[in-house]
Amino acid sequence: GGDFSQKIDYVFKVVLIGDSAVGKSQLLARFSRNQFSLDSKATIGVEFQTKTLVIDNKTVKAQIWDTAGQERYRAVTSAYYRGAVGAMLVYDMTKRQSFDNMARWLEELRGHADKNIIVMLIGNKCDLGNLRAVPTEDAQEFAQRESLFFMETSALESTNVETAFLTILTEIYGIIR
């Protein structure tokens, strides 16, 4: 909204990580601006987007960071993780490799981020269910083993995008307040 007099109670930094082309930038575009683009180049260079919402009568500004093309191994710098209170580990449910790489991304995250960071595993592109390469149960099992929240989303169809971000932000609020 355009209300600049609004008082912000909390700012939560959340980082998006995962392989290139899994849909990180489009999840962010959907959440922050309710937009979606089939052209992945449209968002290159964007550092972060913010969205202000109300949780438990408090005004929370979510500052969501996007890797913007730094997805190569170890190319994401420690500055990216600094101060993050939440992370979304995103894979493409039609690309098995992007799910298999989640363990590596999680290891990198845990090497850089605060140990109390809230982490959510996201299986994106659920609109392409006929091309599914990662069974829900595999992801659930991994999430349970690693103590992660888990959700399947579609940035294209808007499925669970708002719910995923609201869930992680509410969980962050729950440990920070």
| CB burial of residue 120 (10 Å; 0-12, 13-18, 19+) | buried
Question: What DSSP character marks residue 57?
Answer: T
Measured from the CB atom, the residue of 155 and 169 that comes closer to ligand GDP is 155
DSSP state of 22: S
Q: Is 21 in the site for ligand GDP (CB under 6 A)?
A: yes
Binding mask 36-75 for ligand GDP (x = CB under 6 A): -xx-x-----------------------------------
Task: Output 55 or 124, the one with its CB closest to Mg ion.
Answer: 124
Residues 92-131, mask of contacts with ligand GDP (x by CB under 6 A): --------------------------------xx-xx---
Asked whether position 98 contacts Mg ion by CB under 5 A, the answer is: no
Q: Which of 51, 64, 83 is nearest to 17 (CA)?
A: 64
* Separation between Cα atoms, residue 175 and residue 177, nearest integer Å: 6
According to DSSP, the residues that pair with 150 across neighbouring strands are: 121
Residues that bind ligand GDP (CB under 6 A): 20-26, 37-38, 40, 124-125, 127-128, 154-156
